[in-house]
Amino acid sequence: MSEIRYVCEGKCRRMITIESYKQGKKTCSTDNCDMYGKELTLKEYCPRCNNTFDEGEDHICL
């Protein structure tokens, strides 16, 4: 089963749960990240392999 996460696509790769996102953490807050202040991207997260992938993408656990 996959879950929804919001991730920074900059170098920090910060990952935020949907609960935190709803509480207002909608942008990257890592000072030295190249995407600092930019909107996070909705991704699906697979807890089994600890990977994120695009929404709707076929995901195969390795």
Q: What are the residues binding Zn ion (CB under 5 A)? A: 8, 10, 12, 28, 30, 33, 35, 46, 48-49, 61
Instruction: Check if the beta carbon of residue 26 is closer than 8 Å to that of residue 18.
Output: no
Looking from the CA of 19 toward its CB, the CA atoms found within 13 Å total 0
Q: Which is nearer to Zn ion, 16 or 35 (CB)?
A: 35
State the nearest-atom distance from the C-beta of 22 to Zn ion, in Å: 19
Beta carbon nearer to Zn ion, 8 or 16: 8
Q: Judge contact between 46 and 59, C-beta under 8 A.
A: yes
- Smallest distance from Zn ion to CB 8, Å: 3
